[in-house]
Amino acid sequence: MTREQYLKLSSILAAGTLLPHNLLAEIFSPEELKRNDFGKDFIWGTATAAYQIEGGWNEDGKGESVWDHFVHEHKGKIKTHETGDVACDFYHRYESDIELMHKMNIPASRFSIGWSRVLPQGTGAVNQKGIDFYHRVIDKCLKENVEPWVTCYHWDLPQALEEKGGWANRDSIKWFEEYVNVISKEYGDKVKNWMVFNEPMAFVPLGYLIGVHAPGYVNFSKFYKAVHHVTMSHGAGGRILRANVKGATIGTTFSCSHVDAKNDKPANVKAARRADAFINRLFIDPVLGLGYPKADLPACKHIERHMLDGDAEKMKFDFDFIGLQNYSRMVIYQLGLIPIIHFANVPAKKLGHDTTDMGWEVYPEGIYNLIKKFGAYRNIPKIIITENGAAFPDENVNGEINDTKRIQFLKDYLKQVLKAKQEGVNVCGYFIWSFMDNFEWAEGFRPRFGLVGVDFKTQQRTIKASGKWFSEFLSK
């Protein structure tokens, strides 16, 4: 779709009139981007997370998670004062949702297992009803020819473990090993694709340093400890998966942002290197055996104080793939007042590009730059884009959600992924965030990331125009 067609379509939608058939045909035209361009073995899917979609927060023996606790005890930190108690009600609607994935031609579903649903206290007694639930989800995926890709941890630590110190307690490594051992033995004969963590650079600083996510701490000491224990747990979890799941493909995921300096002033260039070390390299470098990036981020010395003999070797694990997750970029300038990092980010609205409903800059070239950056690492065998997507203020008009901006976003980012692939980077998969609108953590239900719209009052699902485009794209 050309820019002129896009602007014309936007004006029609703004007027509230029906879409002309010829414009719909142009949106869904397979001429712009073809699935086959990426190769027959390229992996396509959508992504979700347990707390964000399941609901059933206290049903059938499930224990309280840090997010259950956070939204109830610190409701003021959720911008909309909402909770994920019901969310998308996937706990009760999983069959029809997975059937909808099949209907939309989606080949793979990335989802997480709720730790406190299978181990209510985090360790010890197993909740059989929780175990059975994920067996039903996995079995339904397999029945509908939707390949399950399981994330072990997507931010929902059992509250019982947080009360013992959470990730700031070194025992968290053993707790995590026990949990991964349980789920890998339960589901390893059915699930062959596993991810250990989702975005440690999100849940560790947001939960232990800035306090805007669960468990809600602003504590430097807890942050440094949690960084190291989560880093250690990558290797610990990976080794258990390797031992328990025959023929497994094992990865882990990292949130990444392309980083530019605001200008060529030496202080800002140095700040941009520091930002890259903090945002993009703090967790992945030690997992790959490169150690913490202390040369560019001096604050790593505080993390290294919590290392014991043998930790450097135990942090490492030979993952089969690395999952990169990208939504925007950062433009950095020096700001010494900010502790630890001493930099700040230029607001996206000042950068001259479109922004999403999260206030993030639309910058497709950023995902290309990140793929090239990590593709140059000698010890990353292959890359999968495990999350990419955008929130826009979608509206349901007469049963239709015509989210043309999301379609254009996905096309533009996919073109950059394809460009990197054609230049020789072994990028071999792409998962859209998200399959459906969900509870977006501290933002509540307002941001809409889904290919499928959800009316959270009625739980009605509506395939958006972007979902129809993706379905058509996948069918070719």
Residues of the chain scoring pLDDT < 50: 1-4, 7, 17-18, 20-30
* pLDDT for the residue numbered 3: 43
The helix (H) or strand (E) run that includes residue 319 is none
Give the separation between CA 103 and CA 191, rounded to whole angstroms. 22
* Residue 48 backbone class (left: φ over 0; alpha: ψ -120 to 50; beta: rest): beta
Catalytic residues: 199, 387
* pLDDT for the residue numbered 30: 41
Q: Please name which of 386, 385, 388, 405 lies closest in space to residue 464, comparing C-alpha atoms.
A: 405
Report the top-level CATH class of 42-475.
Answer: alpha beta
* pLDDT for the residue numbered 87: 98
**CA angle centred on 415, ends 323 and 25, rounded to 5°:** 120
Q: Please name which of 316, 206, 188, 283 lies closest in space to residue 245, comparing C-alpha atoms.
A: 188
What pLDDT, in 10s, does the model give residues 310-348? 999 999 999 999 999 999 999 999 999 999 999 999 999
User: What does DSSP assign to residue 442?
Assistant: G
- What would the two tokens of residue 424 be? 């020789």
Give the separation between CA 389 and CA 407, rounded to whole angstroms. 10
What pLDDT, in 10s, does the model give residues 180-230? 999 999 999 999 999 999 999 999 999 999 999 999 999 999 999 999 999
